[in-house]
Each structure stands twice: as structure tokens, then as C-alpha cells.
Structure 1
């Protein structure tokens, strides 16, 4: 991960309309050596074949390269779920002397546990920490530890109050904790299902999609600065107005056999890819 100095990023910000702009050229070009190492991890035989099939929708090599994840970095993967990205990050960081943490609540660690049971050598070094950490008994990552924090398709869950009995939005607190985890100059990489800016508040709280402007507002309120956006994970076929929200599309296919071929032809959701930095001063 390249350390960023404090400078004006106005030319890199998304337009005032809050629509996603074409990704600007990074301040320092990603090295071909780093990309080659990421691609090697993506090609690792340790990956689950069903996960490999989804590379065409998730573009893992291009995404991790865009987020400038270097093999020697300390990385926190927030809510890794079944471990789709963990299967790539673990061998990549292990080969380069990096460190991987999994930030998740107790109920969100089953995927990591399965990976560790299947291959203790490859995944055993991944350390789990509580995220979000809401009480003093939680196991927190010490402040200023991480070079990179990554979260894939999770901000909408926090916005929806997912897994909270009161269904209250806890996204602001999640961003505050991610900010604290990072070293100054560290990168926060976010991929999430993109909702049109014209959509209603209700759709943002129920559809599984979220607006770019909302993610920016949350990140900037926590202290982050947006430095780049990318269309790596865009899907223009996704109109975002499906009967069961984003879960209508693959991989969930919430309607099961109803219009299955139609939704398979659309593919996975249209996604924003945003890179933020924790300022150095």
C-alpha cells in the first residue's frame, strides 16, 4: 500500500452531483510486479472452484490492485462472510510477509472457521477481531494498526441495521471504527451495490443497494478523504429495481426458478468501487 501525503485531491473527487466519475489516474502507478503477485493469488489452486466462477463479476485482481494492496501490508477484511476474498488475500499476504485480520462479530466467523479447519497452514494465521465493537469486552484491533481496510458489499447492511434487534442504522459507528484501525495514509477500499442517486430513502433501507453519496457522507464524516473511484465492478445491465432487491440477481436468485435465465443473463449487481484515505495530518 502506497502511503499518501497530504495534498489537494479536488481534481479526483466525484462530481458535485454525487454521480460516480470515471476512475482517475492514481497518484502513483501500481507496479506490474504487485499486479502479477495478485494475479498469482487469484490463480491459486487453493481457491474454491465455485468462487473462481464468479471472478468475471468481481474482478478481484483489478480490484485489489486498484486498492493498492501490497503483499507486505497489514490488511483488515471487514465481514469476510464465506471467505470469497479471504481465499485470495490469505496466500497473497502470506507470501509477502503481510498480515490478515478478519473483522466480524461472532456470528460472522463461520466462513473463516471452515477455511481454517480445511487448511490450517494457509488460513490459521488470520486473526479475528470484533467488528463493530460495541462494548468494552470486545476484542478490538489496536488503533493505527492497518495499512488497508477492505469491505465488500457490506455498507448497505450496516445502513439497514442488519443483525440488530432494533434495526437501527449503525453505519456511522462502523466508519469511525474503520478510521481508527488505519495508520495515517492508510487506504479504505469499498465495493458495494450501487443505488441511483434519484432513488428513495426507503429503497436504500430495504433493497440492499446504497447510494454513492451516502457512502461518501459516512466516510467523510469519519475523517476519510475520497481519492479515487473506479468502474471496475460496474454492470450497466442492472437497473436496481428488482422485486426482491439486489437478492433477485445472482448469486442469491431470491425468486429461484422465476425468470431465472433473465437474471442470470443480467449477472451480479452494479457496484461502486471507492478508494478513501486516512489523512496523514
Structure 2
């Protein structure tokens, strides 16, 4: 059995849909905080088990009989490490044979503040002795193109990335990679640096939004604090705005760039082009 934690999240659902193409639904466990939110998965035959990162006993029960567990990193930045530790300890108690963890691109050398908890989680996995594979996910293109309609309306893409190149990929690309690793053999010990086939600057993103929207859009580079404030004023939650601004600064230092193409090699197709993601975002 393959257990997907955080299965009702955006990434978790996509991973399960990919797994269903090759794996019987009865062999897939959706480990979720609120089972009522997974009724659609249960209707497809997926096994739904209650599991909360803050309730270790629920994790041990959810992992019973599991051969593999996909630990999708917690969305609660600042609380991730104890939550991830609970998952790792539960997996060990349940005798899980492989843990796959969604880390961050180049976690060991990343200039992004977000990398700290991922790096610490990787260390916990090593210390645990559990066989594991690291899916070091780069940036989701959705993090930037989600604000494409607002950028078209206001005539500006706001950020603090300077000319840093961003090799992002669509969430669906990362989900396909996770599913591919979960059904493959001999994955323990592997580290995948996952990023988009092509990279872009935020100036190039603004140009693409302008091209598709038919409206003038320019990139406006700002200091980190000003960028976070501006993003929040455009409707983004304050926490997300802060995270994006901080990550932009990391991008200016190369933190969101990788050209190894390991992601497209893993999924057997090119990663989703930026133009396609912009098109989807503008279509609403």
C-alpha cells in the first residue's frame, strides 16, 4: 500500500490521480486531517484514513500495512519540523519500507529561508535510518501566475527577484514525478533536484502576461519589505506575500534555478511551459 499524507491538499490530490493510472485504488491510502473532505477520493475506491501531523497516534494507525509513504511537507511554515518528525517516527513504528519527502530545490545549499525546515527534515530522515528518497521540488509556477490577472489589471508584476532566473514547473508536473517515484523500484537513497525545463526572469514573466492579455505589463523590482506590502495590497494573504517576497530575494541569488532537467526525465515529458500556465491563469 502507498500512503499519501496531506492527500486533500492541491499536490496530494494530483499525486493520487496520477497513481490511479497505474495502481489499484484499494492500494492507495489518503491520509487526511478531515476525512469528510476526501469523500470524492473514497468514491473512487481510495482508502481514506484520518491522520493529523499533530496527533502521532493517528499517524501510526494510518500507516499500518503501508509499504511506502509520501510525506508531503506541512503547509504550516514554522511548525513543519515537529510535524514531520511525528510522521517519520510513525513510519518507523509502522515498518514502512520507503518514505518519499517533498523537500525544496537544493535544500542543502539553498539561500531561501524556507529551506531551513526542509534541510532539518532531511537530517531527521537520515538519522531515523528509514529508507527514503528526496523529491527536492523547485518553485510552483502557480506561485507567480496566480497573480497574472491582477498584474494585467494593474499593469505590473511586482517582486524582489531582480534578474534572478526561475526554473519553475506546474504543480501537476511535481505530482507526476512523485507518483513515478512511488511506483518505481529501488528509490531509497536517491535525491532528485526537480525544476522546470526552462527558466525565466520576472521581467520575462511580465512580458508573457502582456503578450497574452494584450495589456501593457512591466516588472517592477522592489525591496523585500515593499514587495511583500504591495503583494498584500493586491489581495494576497499577508503570510503568502511575505513568503513570496523573501523567496524572490532567494531567487535573485540563484535559489530557484536548476537546469538539470531531472523533472522532465522522471515524468517522461517536457514540463509545462510558462506560456501554458499563464494562459490557464488568465482564463481564470
Q: Give the structure-1-normalised TM-score.
A: 0.34
Q: Select the structure that is richer in helix.
A: 2
Structure number, greater radius of gyration: 2
